[in-house]
Amino acid sequence: MNMKKKSIYFLFLNFGLSSCLAFFLASCASTGEKESVNQAPKPAPTQTPEKKASSAGESKSNSRPLNPASVSSGLPESVNKNTEPEAQEVGSPAEEVYALYQEAQNALEKGDLDEALNLLDEAYAALLKIQASPESPLYQEKHDLRILIVQKIQQVYAFRLPPPGNNHKTIPLTENSWVLAEIKSFQTVERKFFEEAYRRSGLYRGMIAEQMKKMGLPEELSWLPLIESGFYPRALSRARALGLWQFIASTGYRYGLKRDKFIDERMDPLKSTQAAIKYLTELHDFFGDWTTAIAAYNCGEIRVQNEIRAQRIDYLDNFWDLFANLPYETARYVPRFIATLLIIENPEKYGFNLPAPDPAITYETVKLSKPTKLSVLSSKLGLSSEILISLNPELRHDSTPNYEYELRVPAGYGDKVLACLNELPNWIPPDVVFGWHIVKKGDTLGLIAHRYHTSVQAIVRLNNLRSATLIYPGQKLKIPGQNQGLLAANDEGNPPTASSSGSQSNQNKVITYVVKAGDTLFQIAKNYGVSIEKIKKDNQLSNDILAIGQKLIIKLD
């Protein structure tokens, strides 16, 4: 599996143990209440390199094998009694969720915990796309499915080995050849990255260290985001790990991070830090030392546990005996973290003159319960929109949700927000649950999946393809998710007609396209059926030069 799995994959070793998680979802509808003053950082969006997670492999322990008969599907009674997912009502919005859930159940019965959790993650993502009013029967069905999926994830975590008796509390700063190699990298090719990440750390690390101390964790762990995300709260890896702590969706949900149409709390510095503390605490309780826990944070518990069993070593006495056989990224991850601590502890020794950390920004919170575009509110307040966006990085559309939300505003601006609250128009976010890609000569599903940060399996499933190789030029493929750079689907699920004169399905469509390596205005205009001059006019471009990561507005009219 080519993605980083930050999930606790506890093996099913002690039958009879089980656990369930009760989830309580609540929302409020009041508005206009101002909250207390706090400290917050100013984030900036970026994209981190892809983190690759290795497959779990087979356990070589003496643990008992998983008994399929002991694993209940957990489906509601109406579904579980001789009712397969395909027997559900054809066209039901929940049909895909049921199908993915059943695939996860099948994987679980085979003992493939990694695949089961991956499918459950896909099922939850599909569930989020289902729109249902509180009066609709589908609303309760969606709620039940949400609990069902989480309980199944809990089942994956239900059986675990007892923690080792020796409880190592510190992080040993071993200066060996692997650590020295990472120090050398930071001194040379990665020097600019290290210094910039250190500068940004001032925005967040005070808060992180305070949370670590409060929960009894070593404060040194507050430097993990430097190698995870460079201290960018909107850092996104190609494996779709997100935020300061680089959580994937299922692990974020496991540790209480909310994710819906409006917000993704993996990008919230405080909430994601609290989730990371819970995760790291569980890892330390499981393995008994911080060095191994940090390795597992990167590549997953099951891989680390497999290596411990395969090598039959006392990793508590010598982590570096275990380290050599871990995935390449993890084989760098732990030394990189130790190298970071050594440099920060004594920068002069390693030839660094580190910049002053950026100061945290003082803010206060105001409760809003209407969807409001931050750019509109900023204009009313006389602020740059970037200030509010940086204070509220978890807002996916740079807009407040249509339910109660505590918006961070610069200290002293709370009363001004309350004063203009009734003048702010409601903002409706785009509701695209999939986009379209028109196959070109030379395209393969692998290339298409890589381009849109999804999987071949997801594209095959969404398009009911019989083979991953039988695609042809001109074919229109649905691509899961609101991927930037896709042709957006209309409300009926049809692709827009790419013609300069426009059509009913195209009218008033506005797409944000993010420029990628190799893009030209000519190719972008051709893909969307608009003229180069129109794109230049709509984006106030004086020439044809584009920058990677640049956002272009494409108006399909």
Catalytic residues: 228
Can you point out the beta strands (E) in 448-508?
476-480, 487-488
Answer yes or no: are the C-beta atoms of 52 and 239 closer than 8 Å.
yes
State phi, psi for 482 to the nearest 5 degrees.
-90, 60
Helix (H), strand (E) at residue 286: helix 269-287
* Structure tokens, 38: 């706090």
* Structure tokens, 94: 């929940």
Of 547, 546, 482, the C-alpha closest to 512 is 482
Specify which residues 38 forms β-bridges with. Answer: 363
Of 422, 549, 425, the C-alpha closest to 484 is 549
Can you point out the beta strands (E) in 250-381?
361-368
Orientation angle between helical segments 328-345 and 290-299, nearest 10 degrees: 130
SS3 content of the chain, % helix, strand, coil (to 5): 45, 10, 45
Q: What angle do CA 78, 80, 81 make, to 5 degrees?
A: 80
Separation of alpha carbons 541 and 534, rounded Å: 10
Answer yes or no: are the C-beta atoms of 249 and 124 closer than 8 Å.
yes
- Residues 386-414 as b or e (16 or more Cβ within 10 Å = b): ebbbbbbbbbbbbbbbbebbebbbbeebb
DSSP assignment of 98-141: HHHHHHHHHHHHTT-HHHHHHHHHHHHHHHHT----TTSHHHHH
Distance of CA 377 to the CA centre of its chain: 27
The residue whose two tokens read 């299922």 is 250
Separation of alpha carbons 2 and 291, rounded Å: 24
Q: Which residues contact 314 (CB under 8 A, 6 or more apart)?
A: none
Separation of alpha carbons 123 and 101, rounded Å: 6
